[in-house]
Amino acid sequence: MKIFANIPQGAKILNALKIFKKPRKLIYEARARGDFETERKYILESTSTWGKLLCSKLGVEIETNVIIGKSITIDELINEEGYDAVFIGSGAGLPKFMGIPGEQANGVFSANEFLTRNNLMKAFRDDYDTPIHQGKKVAVIGGGNVAMDAARTALRLGAETYIVYRRSEKELPARVEEVHHAKEEGIQFHLLRNPKEILVDENGWVKGLRVIKMELGEPDESGRRRPVEVPGSEYDLDVDTVIMALG
């Protein structure tokens, strides 16, 4: 088995770790003192099944700086390199926004950018210069696993954090354990709520989020009950950062 990654750091499992799991400081300290067994132990405690596979002795090979389709094609992998199968696990593509007023304000992030800046570019570390806006009150829009990752990361950066999701808890697409951990850590869930506008101050920074209450109607094409706005139910959340974790 071989994994092709399109970034130089692709072989470093640390880049895929969520900073809310085993503190990275402990991992870096173990590596710095040459205690690779402890480093491996911490990584195994912090990462996913995929990461555990990479950390194991199963002989998985990793090649970085490879862009499939440019550096090498899938046809070449099969016909010339002798691979029997190719799995494309490219993850999320371009970030998705809602198209509501205020989305261009300072303090609005896509979850892709927010997590990349923290996990890959190490904005959470004092000795790195990666710029990141560490809000005091953060609203994460969405209900999937990435939304939970973004919310829990913001929490560990010191923010009071909210999940805003337009359906009920039953319809949350995130894994049950992710929701459980988020609640356990104190993240507040504003369910059956949908953003209408990001409020912006005179300097162009987020100063709030206007949401409207929703109720569930008939099922849509996904099989889930369609959220319907409740007229006249808008109210404002006091936040200074909004993270879009949609689709």
pLDDT in tens, 183-236: 999 999 999 999 999 999 999 999 999 999 999 999 888 787 899 999 999 999
With contact defined as beta carbons under 8 Å apart, do 42 and 23 qualify? Answer: no
Helix crossing, 24-32 with 36-46: angle to 10°?
160
- Nearest CA among 116, 119, 161, 135 for reference residue 20: 119
Amino acid identity at 96: K
**Do 245 and 112 meet the contact criterion of CB atoms below 8 Å apart?**
no
pLDDT digits (tens, 9 = 90+) for 105-148: 999 999 988 887 776 666 566 676 666 777 899 999 999 998 99
> Of residues 242 and 181, which shows the higher confidence score?
242
In which order are the strands placed within the sheet that holds 137-141?
108-110, 241-244, 137-141, 160-165, 188-191
Of 146, 210, 152, 208, the closest CA to residue 172 belongs to 146
CA angle 72, 114, 108 (to 5 degrees): 125
Of residues 243 and 11, the one with the higher pLDDT is 243
- What is d(CA 94, CA 81) in angstroms, rounded to the nearest whole number? 30
The per-residue pLDDT for 5 is: 75
How many angstroms separate the first and last alpha carbons of the chain? 30
Instruction: Look at 243 and 49; give whichever has higher pLDDT.
Output: 243
